[in-house]
Structure 1
Amino acid sequence: MTDFATRRVMMVDTQIRPSDVTKFPIIDAMLAVPREAYVPRAMREMAYMSENVAISPNRVVFEPRTLAKLLDTLNIQPTESVLDVGCGLGYSCAVIARLAEAVVGLEEDEALASEAQRTLSTEGVDNAAVIVGALTGGAAKHGPYDVITVQGGVETVPQALLDQLKEGGRIGCLFMEGPLGVARIGYKVDGAVTWRPAFNASAPVLPGFETKRDFAL
């Protein structure tokens, strides 16, 4: 029988701590949440490797380092509400739920969404809910949000998401520029979002988050 608990400790010791992630709530969350429960069954042996785990075409569970550094930079507080865009099978929701007051996971793939909600319920995560909807449209009904995370690469961020961010709120996105990407944190001040670079990472660009390109003959 695979000892996932030991792998979880190794993940934190070899991938998270060496990446300058020092906030105890994040370390604690990464140690507590069983990552293997939130990846496809056939991929469980890969759950704790230092790479993204594919869950469907152009969709991944961020590698542990990427998620931890994104959350470290966003500095989510226990009183805050979070919109988790592209939550997939729910791993990011489960981790964020240990940091925030409430999490809304947004997923447009109904099969992924139902599996995510089922796993979150089974694992006793009662302050996170997964809703089905277009990732680019956000979830305005439950907003506005203190923090928004996007669980995949982006080239552009839809205005609908930025509109659902509270004044003074933060949004974390991985902007892809070819095969390489830069995670940036956006801060909303006076209605406008200003972006600051945080760290390098890589992931497939989410459908609908590509830059529209004009084709010329």
Structure 2
Amino acid sequence: MTIDYSLARENMVEQQVRPWDVLDARVLDVLATLPREAFVPEIHRALAYADLEIPLGHGQKMMKPVVEGRTLQGLLVQADEDVLEIGAGSGYLSACLGALARDVVSLEIQPELATQARARLDATGLGNNVRIENVDALSYSTDRRFDAICVTGAVASIPPRFLEWLRPGGRLFVVRGQSPVMEAVLHTADVNGARTDSLFETDLSYLAGAAPAPKFVF
């Protein structure tokens, strides 16, 4: 059976993403244009536009399209901004961010996933402004500051180092809390003091090393 991916992509935007209040024109345009199927492992390619998480191996998954849409809309990356992505995964969200931003640095802890993400970006001709680095974000060090930070795995609490990488006025999107009820938030490093806005509830796999400490029951 041959899948009409362009039709599937249109249906994803109109039947999944837009009804979940993703209404920003630039975000919808990127989701309607980028070939998500090219970033999905071949064994799961028929599910590229389904309303579900897709396994990537190493305990990682692609977020549902609706969550990706809400993530991009929450950050509202502008064309002159620099972005840090924590967790490249498949490279699809990296490509979306690259289409919206001036420059993207994406950190991926798993060497195999980092290599595959780079290969997919190159194969699709996308992400020429995206750099994939194979590194653990929780031990990453940089003097660079970013306008937007996108964390693609959940955290029990926001690591302070993530906030240090924000420019004044910069935004950080992250999902935090305890599974199965987590909260997606946007943290803004405002010049008048930081603020955190709740965006929506969801449930994501934890970023490597960022899960809550196990509770002992006596």
**Equivalent position of 2:134 in the other structure:** 132
How many angstroms apart in 1 are the aligned matches of 2:186 and 2:164? 15
1:11 corresponds to = 12
Matched, 1:149 2:150: yes
Contact 1:133/1:139 (8 A) holds in 2: no
Alignment of 1:1-217 (within 5 A): 1-125=2-126, 126-138=128-140, 140=142, 143-190=144-191, 193-212=194-213, 215=216
Deviation at 1:212, TM superposition (A): 3.4
Q: Cα distance, 1:66 vs. partner?
A: 0.6
Indicate if the aligned counterparts of 1:176 and 1:205 stay in contact, CA closer than 8 A. no
State the Cα deviation string for residues 153-206 of structure 1 (Å, max 9, x = none). Answer: 221222221111111100001113221211000011359643210011211112
Q: Secondary structure at the match of 1:43?
A: helix
> Conserved in 1, the CA contact under 8 Å of 2:179 and 2:204?
no
Contact (CA 8 Å) 1:52, 1:62: kept in 2 or not?
Answer: yes
Length-normalised TM-score, structure 2: 0.92
The code of the aligned residue for 2:134 comes to: V
- Equivalent residues, number: 216
- The normalised TM-score by structure 1 is 0.93
Does structure 1 conserve the Cα–Cα contact (< 8 Å) formed by 2:22 and 2:70? yes
Separation in 1, partners of 2:28, 2:141? 28
- Which amino acid in structure 2 is aligned with residue 208 of structure 1? G
Distance verdict in 2 for CA 1:193–1:56, change over 3 Å: farther
Instruction: Give 1:78's aligned amino acid.
Output: A
Q: 1:58 to 1:21 in 2, by over 3 A?
A: same
The one-letter code matched in structure 1 to 2:146 is Y
Amino acid of the structure 2 residue aligned with 1:181:
M
* Contact residue 106 and residue 139 of structure 1 kept, 8 A: no
After superposing on structure 2, the runs of 4+ consecutive aligned residues of structure 1 that deviate more than 3 Å are: 190-193, 212-217
CA offsets 1:114-162 (integer angstroms, 9 cap, x no match): 1111111111121111111002234625x21100011122212222211
User: Matches of 1:181 and 1:148 in 2, distance apart?
Assistant: 19
Q: Is the 8 A contact 1:148 1:165 kept in 2?
A: yes
Measure how far apart 1:16 and its partner are.
Answer: 1.0
User: Is the CA contact 1:138–1:164 (under 8 Å) kept in the aligned structure 2?
Assistant: no
Kindly indicate whether the alpha-carbon contact (under 8 Å) linking 2:58 and 2:110 is maintained by their aligned counterparts in 1: no
Amino acid at match of 1:89: S
**More deviation, 106-115/150-159:** 150-159
Distance 1:202 1:108, change over 3 A: same
Identity value in percent:
28
CA distance in 2, matches of 1:147, 1:29: 18
Contact residue 84 and residue 148 of structure 1 kept, 8 A: yes
The answer to whether the Cα contact below 8 Å between 1:176 and 1:203 also exists between their aligned partners in 2 is no
Alpha-carbon distance change, 145 to 138 in structure 1, aligned in 2, over 3 angstroms: farther
Q: Give the residue type in structure 1 aligned to 2:130.
A: A
The 1-side partners of 2:184 and 2:62 are apart by 15
Unaligned runs of 5+ in 1: none
- 1:215 Cα offset (Å): 4.6
User: Contact 1:167–1:189 (CA<8 Å) still a contact in 2?
Assistant: yes
